[in-house]
Every structure is written in structure tokens, then in C-alpha cells.
A and B are shown apart, each in its own frame.
Chain A
Amino acid sequence: MAASSALLVLAAISPRSLVWLVAQIHLLFAAFVLGAPIFIVVCEWLGRRRKDQRYERLAKETMKVVAIAYSFTALSGAAFAFVLMGPYQEVATHLLDRMGPVFAVYVGLFFVETALMYLYWYSWEPLAGRKGLHLSIGVALNVAGTATMVMMNAVGSYMLTPPEHAAQASIWSLVFNDTFSGLNLHRFIANITFGGFMVALFAAFMFLTAKSREDRAFYDWMGFIGNFIGVATLILLPLAGYIYAKEIFLYDANIATFQMADKLSSFFVMQGLLVSLLFLGVNYYMWMSIRRIDGAERFYGYMRPIFGVIVAGGIVWIIPQNFYPDLTTQTPGVALEDIVLPERAGFLGLMMAKALAVTAIILFTFVTYMVYRRAMALGAVRWGEIPPQAQYALVFVPAVVVYLMGLMGAIRELSRQDWHVYRVLRDTTPQWYTTPLGQTSIMVGIITMIFFTFMAFIFLVGFKLGKPEQEA
């Protein structure tokens, strides 16, 4: 019965949906296994430097999950390649033909990264007395991982911004295409952000189910560190995103127009909503954190004004320049002036207003952190006594992050319009068209839930079943 249902579902979805689903799941796992080790090595180093065993425990517990997630990354990658070579054989052949050396290096790097990952994980205890060497392996793991990502970014960026006369271009021109650096920068930072928030998610769950005060204190602290790393890198992302978008615009203003003023414009309204929710979530968590600091009551008065600015900034970011113009013909009672910003308020729909809104949100998130630091300087932190609802903020944030990653991935792919490789290889399949926001949202929602179902399993095996006896 279950098998026949699964077959029915598979039959109902198109080849594009299947590739979309598998590729995005793979990318989410890849982002986690690339971002988390950076976070882990930094924590291990901090533990050594500050002689604080909590960092060591955090790093080790998280690495356990990464090791399991790594297998899922490889499996989903293989599934992606398998699906791509079926209905999209033409694309696979084109990419292998044009970028064969890149794939060869990618496979080599993947082996190196796998070897280093297992070496790093299994040498943790044997090299306990030689932390410098262990950290060096961790750094090498991250270098190999980042290099692996860079290889696939070359392929991904080539598909959107191939060089002129791509058929005759050298492999270097294909790799160092116009958006290669922008995509690398954006993904590198975003992976660390993702890793941080995922660690905070694990910590939140462990906090909520912890039996002892010590465990609650530890997981409260771990959630704080995960969230801190996530936010510290999150505030860089709008700038990295802007650089990437600028590169796309300089390559071909058509793509930028298609994104901002055409079929993908509603996707960016959704992006504004998601990022605003993200900042509300992390700021909410921080203000709940401040409540567990002795003598921090004097700062409570700043909370509402700060949230007022963040909410106002979020609304300005979301306000669309106009709504879908066919509303005037599809919906009775809608006139043109109803769906376009009035003349004097037109600036609210422009990039300048959006950039100012984002800047205000980032600045006031920074202010929240300054308040937290100030509060810490005046009183002791009562680890483990954070209001439990703060942990649900840490649960909420990764859900929004993963959904956002799915949506932004869709925007990047849909920006190619009806091309597999922009203006080089046309999409001649029945699914050549740009999916509307609703259809995309359903796909992204499904992907988000599937990813977290896998992560729940990995987390259960890594954190819960794999807990050392003395901690159980």
C-alpha cells in the first residue's frame, strides 16, 4: 500500500520536480557538512585557548552529527547525479563535456575531504594530547570542503552566467565566470550561518529534554554560541548577496530585471518576509537570553523600541513596488492605481529604501548584542535559566533559514528563464517555464520538511542514542 502510494507520488511529480527536490536536499546537507566543521574547529580552538571544556564538548557532539550527515550528503549527491542523467541527460552531457576537468577535480577533492573528515573524527581521542595536530586536520578538512564547494560553484555559476562565446571559451573562462566569486562568497558565509543555527537547534532540543541542571546549563550555553555564530555571519549576508546580485546585473541586466521587476519580483517580497522573520527570531532569542543575566532588568526598556525598528524595517523591505498587474483583469474591483504604489510613496518600492531598511535591521540587531554584552559586564549569567520559549525561537529560526535557502536556490535557478545554461543550452522539456511563487513555495515547503525529517533521524542517532554513558 505504502509502496504503491510512493509510486503514485513519483508519477505525479515531473522530472524537474524530482531533480529540484533531490538537488535541493543535497545542497542543504552539503551546506550543513561544510558549514558545521568550520564552526566545530573554531569551537575546538576556543576550548583549547580558553581552557573551557564546554567548547570541546560542543565541538565533539556536533561533529558526531556531521559524520552521520556526511553519508546522507554523499547519498543525496549520488541520487542527484542519477536523476540528472535520466530526464536531463542533455544537460549532464553538456556540463561534463564543457567542464570535465572541474568534475574530475571535484571527485578527487571529495575523496580527500572524506578521508580528512573521518580522520578528524576518529582521531579526536587519540590526539587529545596533541590538540595542535588535531586542529590542523580540522583546518585541512575545511580547506578541502571549501575547495569542493568551489568546484560545484563553478558549475552552478557557469549555468547562469557563462562567458561570451562559451563554446570556444577555455576551461578557466568557464570557471572564473562573472558570478563565480560572488556565489563563492555568499555560499561560504551562508554555510557558516546555517551551521551555527543548526547547532543551536540541536542545543534547543537537548535543553528542552534535559533532566539535570548541568545539562540544561550546557545546552543553554551551546544554543547561545550556535545562535551567536549564526547571527554574526547572518549580518554579513545581505552585503554578500548584494555583491552577488550586482555581479549578475553587470553580466546581464536582463536577468536582474527578470528578478526584480518581472516574474521573480514576488519571490523577493517573500525573501524580505523570511529575512525579517529570521531577524525577529534571533533578536527575540537574545532578549530572552538577557533575562537570565543578574541585574539586566534596567535594559528591558530598550526591547520594544528595538523591535519597533526591526518590525518597521521589515515592513518597508516587504512593501512591493506593485502587485501582479493582471489582478486588474482577473479580480473584479481592482483598478490599476490599487496595485501600484502612489507616486510620492514610490521610493518605498525602490532598492534605496530596501537597503536602508536592511541596514536598520542589522544595526539594531547589533545594538541588541551590545545590550547583551553590557548586561553581561554588570551581572552573572545564570546558564540554564533562560525562559523555555527562547528555545522555541532557536527551533523556529532554522525552519525559516532552510525555507529561505530553498527559495533563494529556486530564484537562482529560475533566473536562467527557459535556459539550462543561460543563452547556451535551451530548456526544451515540457517544464521549461518559470514556476510561479505558489508552486515554488509548495516545492520548498516539501523540501524543508523532508530535510528536517532526515535531520531528526540523524540527530536522534548522533545526539540521543550516541550520548556517552556519563552524560546519559
Chain B
Amino acid sequence: MAVAPQQKAAPRRRLMQSKGAVLLVVLIAIWIGLPFVPEETGLQFGWVYRVFFTVMALLAGLFFWFLGRERIRTPERPASVIVSVAAVYLVTVGLLVAVGVVYPQFPVPKTEKAPAQPAQASERGRELFSNPTVGCFRCHAIAGQGGIRGPDLTQVASRAGGRVSGLTARDYLFEKLRAGSAYDFKVPKYAPIMPPYQALVSEDQLEDLVAYLATLTGTPTDEVEDGEVGD
């Protein structure tokens, strides 16, 4: 059953080479292939995603390299074992903290800011969105949560501006909410069942709803009130 080391070495080298080749192909596909994907396919990943996929590919490559190691040298003296176990914890926790710190995120708020202020417009809008009486969430989902009768609103802020020529995202959202499915523009593939919200909520509440929808996926700051995106 035992295989001589020199007999094992050649296939292992080949395996290493093949893993390296696969990783190289994946990286080429990410950085050279993806940018040339035609726009009409709807599969053009931005460079932030390409960085993300690169990190994932490198981590996966590292894992499969590790998986191919037959036996790894491990310490034998108890003191060395303790040090090695502590090192596993320090490295693991350290890397996880590092991921959490470098991942794109909203900034630390200023702690001196007075608490318990009245809710911002977007916060009030968020509450309205899931208020059973208003009922937006019954038909629209955000990040997979909510109904499916209406369009998914997870990225509505980035799409609304392109719906009707000449209308900003905010203006479009206002008009659409006011008129419901009676509005001229209808999102394809969905039944025209949206009620006119001008009859259901006040003008202030409409403002709040729009402020909230404008934070979903975010739009450039000129369309959103200061501090409402991700703060």
C-alpha cells in the first residue's frame, strides 16, 4: 500500500501546477474577461466586485493548497503545542477583526450628537413602509423580505432615476407613490395593482416614504438629504 516519496512527488507537483493554473484562469476571467462582457447582458460587475471576487478566489486557492498537504509539521512539546494553539486563536481572531475593519461600512457616528432626536424622514419612512395599515411590504420586498406581487425595491434608489426621462429618482418616486398604478410609467411584468397613495397617506408621510426609498442602495448625495444615506 505504501507509496515511495519520489512516486508521490510527481503527481503532487502536477496537482499544485493544475491548482495554480485554475487560479490563474479565474483571476484572468475576473480582471480581463469580466470588463469585456457586453453591457446588454446585464452582467457587468464593477471593479469593487472584481476586488471582492479576487479576494474570494485567492482564499479559495489558499484553502485548496492547504487541502492538498498530506501531513503538516506539528509541535510535539507541550509548551510548543500551547504556543501553536494560542497562535491559531490570535491569527484567526486577528484576521476576522481585520475583515470587519476593512469591509466598506458607514462611519462611526459622533457620540456627542444629542440622542433621542425626532426620527429622521427616512426613519419615519421606514416605519411607514412596514406599517400594516400602509402595507407597502405586503407587495414589495427589500433584501428578500416582503411580498413579491410588486417589484423588488432593494435597489430602487439606483434605478428610479432612470425610469422617466427628466425626472430625478425622488421626483419619480413621488409621482409613482401619489398615483400608484394610474401613473404613466408601469414597471413591466407586474400587474397594475398599486393603489394611489395620495389618498391613503398624508403629503408629509409621502415625503417620508420617498426619503426612505431614496436610501435603498443609495443614490448620489445630490438626490438624498444630507446624512440620510447609511448614517
B64 lies within 8 A of chain A by Cβ: yes
Contact partner, A441, options B42, B60, B92, B97, Cβ 8 Å: B97
Q: Mark B98-110, 1 if CB is under 8 A from A, else 0.
A: 0111111111110
Best-buried of B88, B107, B126 by chain A (most CB within 10 Å): B126
Q: Mark A77-111, 1 if CB is under 8 A from B, else 0.
A: 00000000000000000000000000000000000
A439 lies within 8 A of chain B by Cβ: yes
Q: Which of A133-158 contact B (CB under 8 A)?
A: none
A2 lies within 8 A of chain B by Cβ: no
CB distance from A424 to the nearest CB of B (A): 13
A270 lies within 8 A of chain B by Cβ: yes
Q: Given the complex, which residues of A lie within 8 Å of B101, measured CB to CB?
A: 437-438, 441-442
In contact, A418 and B48 (Cβ under 8 angstroms): no
CB distance from B103 to the nearest CB of A (A): 6
Q: Given the complex, which residues of A lie within 8 Å of B216, measured CB to CB?
A: 261
Q: Given the complex, which residues of B lie within 8 Å of A269, measured CB to CB?
A: 103
- With A253-B146, A396-B92: A324-B230 Cβ-Cβ less than 8 Å: yes
- Complex Cα distance A14/B105, Å? 21
CB distance from B184 to the nearest CB of A (A): 23
CB distance from A227 to the nearest CB of B (A): 16
A284 lies within 8 A of chain B by Cβ: yes
Contact partner, B44, options A337, A418, A438, A448, Cβ 8 Å: A337
- Complex Cα distance A344/B45, Å? 10
A4 lies within 8 A of chain B by Cβ: no
B229 lies within 8 A of chain A by Cβ: yes
In contact, A352 and B46 (Cβ under 8 angstroms): no
A114 lies within 8 A of chain B by Cβ: no
Contact partner, A438, options B46, B75, B105, Cβ 8 Å: B105
- With A344-B43, A345-B45, A396-B88: A254-B130 Cβ-Cβ less than 8 Å: yes
CB distance from B138 to the nearest CB of A (A): 9
Q: Which of B70-127 contact A (CB under 8 A)?
A: 70-72, 74-75, 78, 81, 84-85, 88-90, 92-94, 96-97, 99-109, 111-113, 115-116, 126-127
- With A325-B230, A344-B42: A253-B78 Cβ-Cβ less than 8 Å: no
- Complex Cα distance A433/B112, Å? 11
In contact, B221 and A280 (Cβ under 8 angstroms): no
Size class of the contact patch on chain B: 35 or more
Name the residue of chain B whose CB is nearest to the CB of A417. B123
CB distance from A411 to the nearest CB of B (A): 13
In contact, B89 and A399 (Cβ under 8 angstroms): yes
Q: Given the complex, which residues of A lie within 8 Å of B143, measured CB to CB?
A: 257, 260-261, 265, 321, 349-351
In contact, B49 and A429 (Cβ under 8 angstroms): no
In contact, B97 and A445 (Cβ under 8 angstroms): yes
Q: Mark A325-337, 1 if CB is under 8 A from B, else 0.
A: 1111100001111
Q: Given the complex, which residues of A lie within 8 Å of B89, measured CB to CB?
A: 395, 399, 448-449, 452
Q: Given the complex, which residues of A lie within 8 Å of B158, measured CB to CB?
A: 336, 340
Q: Given the complex, which residues of B lie within 8 Å of A257, measured CB to CB?
A: 126, 129-130, 142-143, 145
CB distance from A355 to the nearest CB of B (A): 9
- Complex Cα distance A225/B104, Å? 40
Q: Mark B42-56, 1 if CB is under 8 A from A, else 0.
A: 111111110010001
Best-buried of B97, B101, B146 by chain A (most CB within 10 Å): B97
Known: A205-B81, A324-B104, A389-B69. 12 other contacts (CB 8 A): A257-B142, A262-B215, A280-B63, A323-B104, A338-B49, A343-B42, A427-B116, A428-B116, A430-B115, A432-B116, A433-B111, A433-B113
Nearest 7 A/B pairs, CB to CB: A325-B218, A441-B100, A351-B144, A338-B46, A253-B130, A344-B42, A260-B143
Which B residues fall within an 8 A CB radius of A?
Answer: 41-49, 52, 56, 60, 63-64, 67, 69-72, 74-75, 78, 81, 84-85, 88-90, 92-94, 96-97, 99-109, 111-113, 115-116, 126-127, 129-130, 137, 142-146, 152, 154-155, 157-158, 215-221, 229-230
Q: List 8 A-B contacts (CB under 8 A).
A: A270-B103, A338-B49, A339-B48, A339-B49, A387-B71, A396-B92, A436-B105, A436-B107
